[in-house]
Every structure is written in C-alpha cells, then in structure tokens.
C-alpha cells in the first residue's frame, strides 16, 4: 500500500519564508490566521489525511461505489471517515462564520485540499463539490436560501453538487435541455437529465443540495438563457427538518477508469421542485463562481497526486537494489545499488520534485491572492489580486493536473512491473489523476480561456499582473551572484516569451484560429515560465537561509532542485514557442475529410 | 464499443510505393512473398482482427482472467478466438517451413502484429510470447528439442513463455536465484520462483513450453552465469504425446492496471524437469534473441494501440456537436459544429496521426531490414541491415510504446468525460498501453541501450546506418521544390543532432553518467529525427502520386499531415538537444538523501 507524509516543512517554508502569509492576519476577518494557527491546523489536517483518509484509498478503489434501486453505497470506511472529517470542522474551515464556518483563509483550504487529494482523491470529491455549491449559494442566493441551506452544508450534514452536463452537452452548455417551469409560488418545476454528476447520490449525508442549470420557458437561446436552481434531494421543512422526497433521483452510476470511490451519477430530474439562485437567465455567471473555485480545486487535486506519487516513487528508488552505478558500484557491500544511483531514475524523480514544489509555490501564491481579493480593504489591491487569480486559474488547473498525471506515470515507470500491478497502489494514481485533466473544463478549454479571454482582457492587463513582478524580480537580482547560473538565461527566455505573446495577440486579432491553434502550447509555455518565477523566489529565500545550520539540507535540496528545473525542465518552452510561431496553417490547412 | 478498420491502404502505400517490399520476393526462401500475396494475407488478417479479436477486447477487459487452484481461465470467447487464429495458420506465418510454418517474411508478421494489437492487445500476448519462445528454440536449441517442440508451437497446439523476472530482479538479471541441477540424464532439475510471466498459465493450449533462466551449480556470478532451459508444463513422451505433469505451477495471477485478459503469472518451479537451450552460462545470449524480437513486437503493440485510439478519437471528433468554430458557425444548420472544427482538437488528432503514420513507416523499414538481415545472400548486406535493425530496435520499442500511450490519452482527452468511462472503451487503451512502456526493458533501459551499446559500437558505425541514408536523401532533394518548405529546416536540425551526438560520445567517454543523464532525451530526439526521415520519404512518394486522381485525397492527406509533423511535432527535438547539452550535473549533483 502506498505511504504518505504531508509535506509540512515545504508548506511552512512557502508560507513563512517565501510568501510571508502572516500578512493575511492583517486583513479584516482573518485576525486569527496567524502563522501559529496555520501550523497547528496544517498539522491536524496532515494527521487526518495520513491516518484516516489514506488507509481507505486503495480499498475504496478496489471496492468502488455500488448502485442499487436508486441508492448509492460508498466503499467501506467512507461513511466513518466522512464523519471524522465533518466532526473535525474541516468542511467549514474557510466558510463564513455567519453560517457556522470558521472563516479562515482560503489559502489554508488550498493546502488542506492538496493533502486530502494526496491521501484520497475520491474522498476529496465529496467535501470538494459541497464547497463549490456552498460558494455559489453564498454569493448568489437570497438570504432565505442561505439561511435554510448553508448551515447544514457547513457542518457537512448536507452536501452539494453541481449539475451542468447533459448527455449531448458538456463544454457547450448553451445546448442544455433541462427545463424549469415556474410553479407560481416562487418555486420551479425542474425536469431533465444530467450526467457525470459527482456525488449526485451517496450514503454520507442526510440531504443533497443539487445546483442545477436549466432553462426557463421564455429563455433566450444559448448560454444567455441559462438559469441556476437549487434542488434538494429532500425538501426542507420550515423548521429545517427533512421533508418529502423530491423528484431528483439517481438513475445509474458510471464505471470509470479511476476515482472509483467517488460516485459519478446520472441524475434524473422529474418535476423536481427547485428555487432560483441569482438572476433569471444569468445562471452561467453564478455557475462560474463555482467553476472558478472548482478549477483551482482540481488543480490542487493534481498537485496532491503528484506529491504522493513522488513520495512512493522515491521510496522505491531508494529501496530497490538493481544493477550498479554507471561509474561502478556505489554500495559494493550490497548485492546491487539502489536504483536512485541511475541518472535516468534521478531524471524522473527530479522532474516530479521540481514541478511539484514549483506548483505548490504557485498554489500558495494564488491562494494568498484569492484571500487578498476577498478581504483586502483597498479596492485597487483587491482588483489587482483578482486579476492575477483570474490569469493564473487556467494555468493552475491545466499545469497541475497535467503534472499530476505525468508524475503518477513517472512513479509507475520508476517502479516498472511493480508500478503496473494493483498491489503497490501507484497505478491507481494514474487512473485517478486522469480525470482531473478533463473535468471542470478540459485542459484544452483552460488554454482557450487563457488565450481567448484572459490574454486580450483590457489589452493584456491581466498578463502584466504576472509579467511585471517577474520583470521586476529579474531587474532587482540581475547582479545577485546567487543567480549567476540561472538568471541570464531565464531573462532571455522571459523576454522572448513576452514577444511571442505580443505576436500571438496580433495574429489572433486578425484570425481567432491563430489563438486556438497556439492555445495549448501557449498555456504550457506560460506555465513553465510561472514555475520558473516560483523557483527564482524559492532560490532567493533558500540562499538567504543556507546559513541556518539546523535545516541546511532542506535549503540545499531546494537549490539543487532549482538547478534541475532550469537546466532540464524549462527548455521545453523553446519547443513550445517554435510551435506557436508556426501558426495555425499546419493545424487548419487540412479539410476534415482528409483526416 | 470501439470500432476498428485495419489501415490497409496505408500499409499498401508503404509496402508498394515508399519501400518497394517486392524486393523481398527476390530473397531465397521468400519467392512466394509477392505484393499480391502480401495484400491477400493482410486482407484476411484484417478480417480476423476486425471480426474475431475486436469484439472480445472490451468484454475481455471487464471479465479478466480468473485463477483458481493453479488453473487460469481466460475470458469468454478467447478460447474460440485462439482456435480460429491457430486454425487459420496465423501462428506459423513467418515460422520455418521445416517445422510446419509458412516461412513468410517477418515484415508480414509485423503488419499482422500491429492489427492484432489494435484489435485486442491482451489476446496478442498469447501468440506473441509463443513466437518469441519459438525463435529462441529455433536459433539456439539442438535439433532434437526443435523437432520435439517446434511443430506443435507452430500449429499453436502448444504455446511458449519467457520466464526471466524474479521478485527481487527484473532489469538486473545477474541477481536471479533460480537453480538448475543436472540430473545426469541430460536433463536438469529446475527450482525457483518467476514473476510477471505473461501467459505462464492459460486454458488455450494443451501444453506450455516455458523458457526459463536459471543458474547451474558451478555458474560464475552475475549475468555471465545464466543458462536457458526449456521446461514444459507437461513432459512430452517420445511419441510426442502428453506425458506427466511437470513441476511448473502457476501460484497466482496479478491484478493489473490493464491487459487484464492476458494472464500475468507467478510461476513456481519445484524440481521441474528441463533441458538446456544453447550453451551453459550463455543463456543471456539466447534470451536476447527472444528479447530483441520481443522489443520490436512490443513497439508494434504501441503502434496498434495508437492506430485504434486515433480512429476512435477521430470518429468522436467528427460526430460530437459542441460549440462553434472560432471564426463562426461552420455548419449553421446544425445545433453546433462537430468538434473537429476546433484547432486544439485538430492539434490532438494530427499529433496522433502524424506520429502513427511515421511509426508505421518505421515498422516497415525495420521489418524489411530484418528480412534482409535474415535472408540476403550477400554477407555485407546482411550485416548492414542487421546493424540498422539493432540501432532502430530501442528506438522502435520506446518511441512506439510512448506514442501508443500518448495517443490513447489524446483520444481520451478528445472524448472528455466519455473517454474516461468504461462504456466507450478508450480508457482501456490507456491502461493496456501503459505496460508496453515497461516490459521487455523499460523505455529508460531502451535509451541506455541506445547510448551505451548502440552509439559507441565501432565508433558510431551503427549510427551511420541511419545518418548516411538520411544525409543522402537531404543532398539529393535539396533543390526539389516539393521540399522547399520542409527540407532546409530539417537539414539544419539533422546537422545539429549529429553534432550533439558527437558531443555526447565525447563526454560519455570521459564520464558514462553523461550518457546516462542524456539517454532519454537522446532517444526521443533521435526518434523524432527518424520519424522526420520517414515523413520525407512519404512526402516524396505522395508528391509523385498526386496526379493519380483516384486516390488523390490519400496523398493530399499525407502531405498535410507531413506539414503538421515538421511544424508542430519535430520542434520538440530542440528542447531535447538543450537538455542533452545541459549535461549530467543537474541530475547527479544532488546527493540521494536530499531527494
């Protein structure tokens, strides 16, 4: 069975040394969020993940969810783990105090999410979806709905879902057919079929609060005519108690490649009673509240998988004796050397490590800015933080989920045949990670979001939220000897990438297919640059800390890992830039019938 | 359920137009292997794959193999399909006539292998392993063994296995513990445990002929002390009939990520009677006969998966209506456009198509040279062909299996949520393909084989078997207008890659870790170059054929696909060359305890 230890040292390094998360405690409402508070909560969270969630991950995969007569049963131990989770108050960590939450920073939730997903991605889906639904109701629902539903969602007694996809439409929600007919009493009658609904039915909670996209009778066509409805599994009485069963029923669950302990449901809404959330026909806006948070959360799932995959690949590489170092025996007293002596095994490990740690830094950067966007007293600061988060959302989602999948595969590769069999539990990471590249908008859709929405936004203003601090860092540190080996080359690459961005913006203005054809290469290139910036920040901090004798090896490891990143990972950006320059013709030039 | 149509047109194009396989019929023993013969056999093979093997692929994955009391049961329909396969004579297609085979070119077997693995990779394992065992016995066994065992392996009544791996050793076979004690009657008593033995036990054949690596009592340590033994499941009487049960028993089967219909067995040898194949202590040499063929066969598995993944991704992309073209509606009369209008979907499809078709050309090139190496009357020609095959074996194995996995993942990505669920059958391709990057030497081992064995061989002589014809082609076609857009850039890349090869050879001479650290990048870069050369050959042929009105679209498709390859796939080589240039320090500079 795989092992896992939460990377608390790395998290503390990022929170305290690289980003100074203590500034969050200065924001109104976050006064309690001191570094000490962060540390003790993370330690508790780590324990929960290591001791409660990890032990039921592999068994949950093997057993899977079962479905019979509309009832979904989660695997053995999930109900108990969910109770431990909710009773520990983890569900409401960053939920509003008004509804019973602890009102702590979203950043803290980010780090918890990573750990939960390292330990048990399937489990993480249940609170994860609830959290998204909570957010949409809190931001867009009327006070009555909030008071009726949110407190029990915060305790975890009730859960939430997001019902978007239908059999004939996923990405293109303008095509949805689910109907909402006003019943005259302020409620609506909802009918239609939704598919791929995570946690649509389960045996963990007393009630399930579905958020459903549907069309009103007079709705304009396409995405401008979609509204969002709250549809509970059981109607809720005025006293808050459970009432009649509503017409929202699970028709079946999917057999999937992975996340088998997460129930993926076909949901049939048959004259189910629902209530409008937000403004009629503006459901997409409310949905994007959930979606943007969900995209970041999915990115963190990828990060979580990458971390646990690395840990298990590493431990195998240190234990497995096979062959000898290329320069001769490293441990002549053993029958063979551990495979970590081999350059190609190290290449795989360092690829995992350098991207995972860079991505964790990115998670902290985004999480902090999300908190600043939410709580800062200065409107301009809030706006700027929001723009950075908006820019980095598609990057976080695609980069981290692609990396989660890649890292899981590298762990399998290091373990060879043992990686491929079920017993060692690493192939599960590959299967579980695979969905993260798809749901909440495929990574191709993330790339289109970056080049089609974020890039042109106010003539590149969002891009500059990244380009400016990065340029400033380069300028400030150009004569810093700590960066002599790294910075000149990075600065050149950074310069070239900005020019490519300009080129793309120009070309795309004339022909949107130019943006489309370059999107994935651009997102990947941008991601590598962002990771590079994260590594620059970490190198600077680690250099300053090297004298600190007690943790010296931690900082040395950071510096060596950075060397690898700049020498062996970043160069991919050059191929990506060449692909972008090649334009859309090689992609669009072939008529569909020639495929 | 996935669909599949064998790519016969592409195969004929390669056989007849690009490579002129008709020359094989001039080799002694291959007189019957005319283009007509090729075509009719391929058509029959296609039918078998499409109609017999494909329909039991998905059901075989769901049912899997079962194990009880030493007996393995293959999934429903496998026994019948195996009978159809063997009764059609497919097992002996390229086996020697002396033992009842048809003695046809190995190239034909290559193309059959691709089709079989597109239709049903798990099924293909059973005849595939037999074929490897057949080869080793034919090349290294004494006449008595050959006459006793080979005829029934050719008919498929008996099957074969390769028993190498033990719990504590896979790559490093020098560590094996299985013992062989001479019994004084010319036979040996074999004892030990082997793991990951494909087809080690099954219910398809009357007998199973295990080829087992073991150590004689006086064997020198390490790989120089390994011998190869033939150990039948049932002893064979002098009249060829089935005798007593031998002590070779399946202890359990593995639960795996994929190829679930292929039984992966723990084999316990307990004083089993065996016979030496080849020379004592020279078992590795005999094993490499099997291994080299097996590596090429595994490459073809990757190619097969890539083809079927492409076909299914393409058909979804043409059928699925979702969103609109970026320049506006392409089919305004439909509710939405098929997703093949989207540049990013095309990028994925063209990546699959361009590498798959390039890889198929490579398969034909290698297969022909394997036949020339085997049958040509001129010793120098045989040697040169053998050197090319040796050089291209690790490239074929790693390139095609990495691509099979990537292509399967691209198909999943194109299909979104539908790709992730079992129903559509595409996620199975991902799981099945994953093992091909691992078995018969992980792709990291292939890379080491390339840089550590093939590259230094006689000061780069093997490399020149590729570099020379490629350089000649560039020279001959430098003023050919058909290549104006492609060749100048390719020639520059080719030049740079040769210089990088020289640099690597020099560095590695002083420090073998330089070769190790660059190995995977070098293999990948080399592969992209080889595919580039394949595309140059195809472009030249397709250009010459464009006037042929009846098949015009086929040739147009080739030219457009080539455009994509050179513009969007090949550039990766630049990042790979940068990685190689960065040397081994970023990989080896970190001590193991800092990971």
Of A87, A107, A140, the one marking the end of a domain is A140
User: From the list A169, A409, A564, which residue is nearest B322 (CB)?
Assistant: A169
8 Å CB contact of A422 and B257: yes
Note the pLDDT of residue B375.
Answer: 97
Note the pLDDT of residue A416.
Answer: 97
Tens of pLDDT, residue by residue over B45-96, are 999 999 999 999 999 999 999 999 999 999 999 999 999 999 999 999 999 9
Do residues B135 and B290 make contact, with C-beta atoms less than 8 angstroms apart? yes
User: Residue B28's closest CA among B97, B74, B79?
Assistant: B97
* Alpha-carbon span B382 to B578, nearest angstrom: 36
| Pairs of CB atoms within 8 A across A/B | 274
pLDDT above 90 for A444:
yes
8 Å CB contact of B257 and A421: yes
Per the structure, the count of domains in chain A is 3
Q: In the numeric block, which tokens belong to residue B89?
A: 């004579």
Domain of residue B197 covers: 156-282
For B329-367, give the secondary structure using H, E and C. CCCCCCCCCEHHHCHHHHHHHHHHHHHHHHHHHHHHHHH
**Residue A1 touches chain B, beta carbons under 8 Å:** no
pLDDT above 90 for A541:
yes
Tens of pLDDT, residue by residue over A492-531, are 999 999 999 999 999 999 999 999 999 999 999 999 999 9
Cβ-Cβ contacts under 8 Å, B170 against chain A: 322, 416-417
Note the pLDDT of residue B458.
Answer: 85
Is A307 a member of any domain? no
Tens of pLDDT, residue by residue over B335-373, are 999 999 999 999 999 999 999 999 999 999 999 999 999
Q: In the numeric block, which tokens belong to residue A263?
A: 């129930």
DSSP assignment of A449-503 equals: IIIIIITTGGGGHHHHHHHHHHHHHHHHTTT-GGGTTTHHHHHHHHHHHHHHHHH
Note the pLDDT of residue B287.
Answer: 85
Residue in chain B lying closest to A340 (CA): B592
**Residue B343 touches chain A, beta carbons under 8 Å:** yes
What is the mean predicted confidence (pLDDT) over B498-506?
Answer: 95
Cβ-Cβ contacts under 8 Å, B578 against chain A: 571, 574
Q: How far is A325 from chain B (nearest CA, A)?
A: 8
Which residue is associated with the tokens 């090949």? B570
Q: How far is A559 from chain B (nearest CA, A)?
A: 9
Residues 243-262 (A) with a CB less than 8 A from some CB of B: 254-258
Cβ-Cβ contacts under 8 Å, A327 against chain B: 511-513
Give the pLDDT band of residue B576 (cuts 50, 70, 90): very high
A164 and A69 inside one domain: no
Count Cβ neighbours within 10 Å for each residue of B60-96 and write b for 16 or more, e otherwise: bbebbbebeeeebbbbebbeebbeebbeebbbbbbbb
Note the pLDDT of residue B307.
Answer: 98
Bridge-based pairing of strands A158-163 and A207-214 is parallel
**Residue B142 touches chain A, beta carbons under 8 Å:** no
Do residues A359 and A397 make contact, with C-beta atoms less than 8 angstroms apart? no
pLDDT above 90 for B540:
yes
Tens of pLDDT, residue by residue over B212-253, are 999 999 999 999 999 999 999 999 999 999 999 999 999 999
Do residues B177 and A429 make contact, with C-beta atoms less than 8 angstroms apart? no
8 Å CB contact of B512 and A327: yes
User: From the list A512, A566, A595, which residue is nearest B349 (CB)?
Assistant: A595
pLDDT above 90 for B548:
no
Note the pLDDT of residue A379.
Answer: 98
User: From the list A423, A435, A579, which residue is nearest B420 (CB)?
Assistant: A435
What is the mean predicted confidence (pLDDT) over B286-290?
Answer: 83
Q: Is B12 exposed, middle or buried (0-12, 13-18, 19+ CB in 10 A)?
A: middle
Q: Which secondary-structure segment (H or E) carries A235?
A: strand A234-236
Return the CATH number at B232. Answer: 2.40.110.20
User: Residue A346's closest CA among A531, A568, A555, A573?
Assistant: A568
Note the pLDDT of residue B451.
Answer: 96
Residue in chain A lying closest to B170 (CA): A322
Do residues A202 and A209 make contact, with C-beta atoms less than 8 angstroms apart? no
Torsion angle defined by CA atoms of residues B375, B377, B380 and B386, in that order, rounded to the nearest 10 degrees = 0
pLDDT above 80 for B186:
yes
A463 and A578 inside one domain: yes
Do residues A254 and A192 make contact, with C-beta atoms less than 8 angstroms apart? no
Give the pLDDT band of residue B15 (cuts 50, 70, 90): very high
A136 and A221 inside one domain: no
A130 and A163 inside one domain: no
Do residues B284 and A133 make contact, with C-beta atoms less than 8 angstroms apart? no
Is A208 a member of any domain? yes
* Alpha-carbon span A491 to A486, nearest angstrom: 9
- For chain B, the average pLDDT equals 96
Note the pLDDT of residue A147.
Answer: 97
Q: How far is B549 from chain A (nearest CA, A)?
A: 15
* Alpha-carbon span B156 to A33, nearest angstrom: 71
**Residue B326 touches chain A, beta carbons under 8 Å:** yes
Give the pLDDT band of residue A539 (cuts 50, 70, 90): very high
A467 and A566 inside one domain: yes
What is the mean predicted confidence (pLDDT) over B557-582?
Answer: 98
* Alpha-carbon span B430 to B420, nearest angstrom: 10
Q: In the numeric block, which tokens belong to residue B307?
A: 């083809």
Name which of A309, A349, A445, A592 to mutate to probe chain B: the one with the most chain B Cβ atoms within 10 A of its Cβ.
A592
Residues in chain A: 595
Give the pLDDT band of residue A550 (cuts 50, 70, 90): confident
Cβ-Cβ contacts under 8 Å, A568 against chain B: 579, 582, 586-587
* Alpha-carbon span A323 to A342, nearest angstrom: 9
8 Å CB contact of A513 and B327: yes
Torsion angle defined by CA atoms of residues A342, A346, A347 and A352, in that order, rounded to the nearest 10 degrees = 150
8 Å CB contact of A419 and B438: yes
Is B422 a member of any domain? no
Residues 400-419 (B) with a CB less than 8 A from some CB of A: 409, 412-413, 416-417, 419
DSSP assignment of A115-142 equals: HHHHH-HHHHHHHHHHHHHHHHHHHHS-
8 Å CB contact of A553 and B593: yes
Note the pLDDT of residue A459.
Answer: 84
Is A262 a member of any domain? yes
> Active-site residue among A440, A472, A476, A513?
A440
B85 and B160 inside one domain: no
Give the pLDDT band of residue A547 (cuts 50, 70, 90): confident
Q: In the numeric block, which tokens belong to residue B99?
A: 């033992």
Chain center to CA of B268: 28
Return the CATH number at A68. Answer: 1.10.540.10
Tens of pLDDT, residue by residue over A280-331, are 999 998 888 788 889 999 999 999 999 999 999 999 999 999 999 999 999 9
A192 and A127 inside one domain: no
Q: How far is B575 from chain A (nearest CA, A)?
A: 5
> Active-site residue among B138, B357, B384, B440?
B440
Angle between helices B461-476 and B512-545 (to 10 degrees): 30
User: From the list B257, B317, B448, which residue is nearest A427 (CB)?
Assistant: B257
Cβ-Cβ contacts under 8 Å, B169 against chain A: 322
Is B53 a member of any domain? yes
pLDDT above 80 for A107:
yes
What is the mean predicted confidence (pLDDT) over B511-515?
Answer: 96
User: Residue A555's closest CA among B591, B592, B584, B594?
Assistant: B594
Tens of pLDDT, residue by residue over A257-272, are 999 999 999 999 999 9
User: From the list B322, B417, B438, which residue is nearest A416 (CB)?
Assistant: B438
Cβ-Cβ contacts under 8 Å, B195 against chain A: 417
Do residues B35 and B14 make contact, with C-beta atoms less than 8 angstroms apart? no
Give the pLDDT band of residue B491 (cuts 50, 70, 90): very high
Give the pLDDT band of residue A357 (cuts 50, 70, 90): very high
Cβ-Cβ contacts under 8 Å, B573 against chain A: 575
Give the pLDDT band of residue A177 (cuts 50, 70, 90): very high
8 Å CB contact of B587 and A423: no
* Alpha-carbon span A316 to A431, nearest angstrom: 20
A453 and A584 inside one domain: yes
* Alpha-carbon span A110 to A310, nearest angstrom: 19
Q: In the numeric block, which tokens belong to residue A543?
A: 């250099």
Of B140, B167, B182, the one marking the end of a domain is B140
Note the pLDDT of residue A176.
Answer: 95
Cβ-Cβ contacts under 8 Å, B584 against chain A: 343
DSSP assignment of A30-58 equals: -TT--HHHHHHHHHHHHHHIIIIIGGGHH
Count of Cβ atoms closer than 10 Å to residue B16 Cβ:
15
Q: In the numeric block, which tokens belong to residue A144?
A: 């009555």
* Alpha-carbon span B397 to B526, nearest angstrom: 13
Is A432 a member of any domain? no
**Residue B334 touches chain A, beta carbons under 8 Å:** no
Note the pLDDT of residue B273.
Answer: 98
Of A105, A140, A175, the one marking the end of a domain is A140
Please state, for a pLDDT cut of 90, what percent of chain A lies above it.
96
Is A288 a member of any domain? no
- For chain A, the average pLDDT equals 96
Tell me which DSSP letter residue B75 carries: P
Q: How far is A355 from chain B (nearest CA, A)?
A: 13
A168 and A102 inside one domain: no
Is A94 a member of any domain? yes
Note the pLDDT of residue A458.
Answer: 85
8 Å CB contact of A590 and B417: no
User: From the list A553, A572, A594, which residue is nearest B575 (CB)?
Assistant: A572
User: Residue A441's closest CA among A453, A449, A429?
Assistant: A449
SS3 A250: strand
Residues 487-526 (A) with a CB less than 8 A from some CB of B: 511-513, 515-517, 519-520
Q: Is position A384 annotated as part of the catalytic site?
A: no
A51 and A16 inside one domain: yes
pLDDT above 80 for A74:
yes
B55 and B186 inside one domain: no
Note the pLDDT of residue A286.
Answer: 87
SS3 B472: helix
All residues at 6 or more sequence positions from B184 whose CB lies less than 8 Å from its CB, including other chains: none
A130 and A162 inside one domain: no
* Alpha-carbon span A104 to A95, nearest angstrom: 7
Residues 350-389 (A) with a CB less than 8 A from some CB of B: 350, 353
User: From the list B560, B574, B587, which residue is nearest A564 (CB)?
Assistant: B587
Note the pLDDT of residue A385.
Answer: 97
């Amino acid at each position: 069975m795989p092992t896992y230890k939460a990377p608390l040292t790395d998290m503390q390094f990022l929170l305290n040394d690289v980003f100074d998360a203590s500034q969050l405690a200065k924001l109104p409402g976050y006064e309690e969020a001191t570094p000490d508070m962060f540390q003790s909560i993370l330690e508790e969270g780590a324990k929960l993940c290591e001791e409660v969630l990890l032990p039921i991950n592999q068994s949950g995969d093997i057993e899977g969810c079962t479905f019979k007569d509309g009832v979904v049963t989660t695997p053995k131990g999930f109900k108990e783990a969910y109770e431990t989770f909710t009773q520990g108050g983890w569900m409401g960590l960053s939920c509003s105090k008004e509804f019973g939450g602890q009102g702590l920073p979203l950043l803290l939730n980010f780090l918890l999410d990573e750990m939960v997903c390292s330990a048990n991605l399937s489990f993480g889906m249940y609170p994860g979806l609830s959290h998204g639904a909570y957010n949409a109701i809190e931001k867009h629902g009327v006070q009555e709905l909030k008071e009726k539903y949110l407190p029990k969602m915060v305790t975890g007694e009730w859960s939430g879902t997001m019902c978007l996809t239908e059999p004939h439409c996923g990405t293109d929600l303008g095509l949805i057919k689910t109907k909402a007919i006003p019943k005259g009493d302020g409620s609506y009658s909802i009918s239609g079929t939704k598919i791929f609904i995570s946690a649509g039915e389960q045996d963990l909670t007393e009630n399930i609060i579905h958020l459903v996209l549907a069309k009103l009778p007079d709705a304009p066509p396409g995405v401008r005519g979609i509204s969002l409805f709250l549809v509970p599994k059981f109607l809720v009485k005025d006293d808050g108690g459970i009432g009649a069963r509503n017409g929202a029923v699970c028709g079946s669950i999917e057999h999937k490649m992975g996340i088998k302990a997460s129930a993926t449901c076909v949901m049939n809404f048959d004259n189910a009673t629902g209530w409008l959330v937000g403004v009629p026909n503006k459901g997409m806006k409310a949905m994007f509240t959930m979606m943007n948070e969900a995209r970041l959360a999915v990115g963190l799932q990828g990060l979580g998988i990458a971390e646990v995959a690395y840990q298990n690949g590493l431990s195998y590489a240190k234990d497995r004796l096979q062959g000898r170092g290329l320069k001769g025996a490293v441990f002549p007293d053993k029958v063979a050397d551990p495979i970590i002596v081999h350059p190609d095994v190290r290449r795989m490990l360092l690829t995992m490590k350098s991207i995972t740690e860079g991505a964790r830094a990115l998670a902290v950067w985004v999480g902090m800015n999300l908190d600043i966007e939410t709580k800062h007293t200065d409107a301009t600061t809030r706006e700027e933080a929001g723009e950075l988060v908006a820019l980095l959302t598609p990057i976080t989602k695609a980069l981290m989920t692609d990396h989660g999948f890649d890292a899981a595969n590298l762990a399998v590769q290091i373990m060879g045949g043992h990686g491929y069999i079920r017993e060692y539990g690493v192939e599960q990471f590959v299967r579980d990670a695979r969905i993260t590249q798809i749901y909440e908008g495929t990574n191709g859709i993330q790339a289109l979001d970056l080049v089609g929405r974020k890039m042109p936004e106010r003539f590149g203003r969002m891009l500059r939220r990244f380009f400016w601090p990065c340029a400033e860092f380069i300028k400030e540190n150009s004569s810093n000897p700590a960066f002599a080996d790294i910075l000149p080359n990075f600065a050149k690459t950074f310069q070239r990438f900005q020019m490519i961005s300009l080129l793309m913006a120009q070309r795309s203005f004339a022909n949107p297919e130019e943006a489309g054809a370059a999107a994935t290469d651009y997102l990947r290139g941008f991601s590598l640059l962002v990771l590079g910036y994260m590594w620059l920040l970490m190198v600077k901090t680690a250099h300053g800390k090297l004298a600190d004798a007690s943790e010296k090896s931690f900082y040395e490891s950071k510096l060596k890992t950075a060397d690898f990143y700049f020498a062996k990972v970043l160069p991919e950006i050059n191929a990506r830039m060449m692909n972008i320059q090649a334009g859309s013709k090689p992609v669009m030039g072939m008529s569909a019938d020639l495929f």
